[in-house]
Amino acid sequence: MDYSLSSRVDFLFDYQIQFVEQSSGKRNSHLKTGFGFEFELSNDVELDVIFYLDRVAEPVSSINTVAPKPNDYSLVFSLGYDF
């Protein structure tokens, strides 16, 4: 879902879930949400702030290793210019 809150601010929300085999973690989720801002100086410059969450319901470890944590978080800042 991509929704315009105003002429200069956009909101993004995307959630996906996959049901996989037990050996692959059972359920894999991916969340992407954030905001896009256009600067007043120029409509060609945009700043995006996006939060990502990836989750594996039941992480699987390799032989003789510790199982990974189920959640992986990221916060991404990007600056773009349209010309």
Q: How confident is the model at residue 1 (pLDDT cuts 50, 70, 90)?
A: confident
Residue 42: its pLDDT value, please?
A: 66
| CA dihedral sign of residues 59, 62, 64, 68 | negative
User: Which pTM value belongs to this model?
Assistant: 0.79
Q: pLDDT tens, 38-65? A: 876 666 788 899 999 999 998 888 788 8
| DSSP SS3 for 22 | helix
| DSSP SS3 for 2 | strand
Q: pLDDT tens, 13-28? A: 999 999 998 888 889 9
Residue 45: its pLDDT value, please?
A: 84
Cα–Cα nearest to 19, from 10, 5, 29 = 29
12 pLDDT exceeds 80? yes
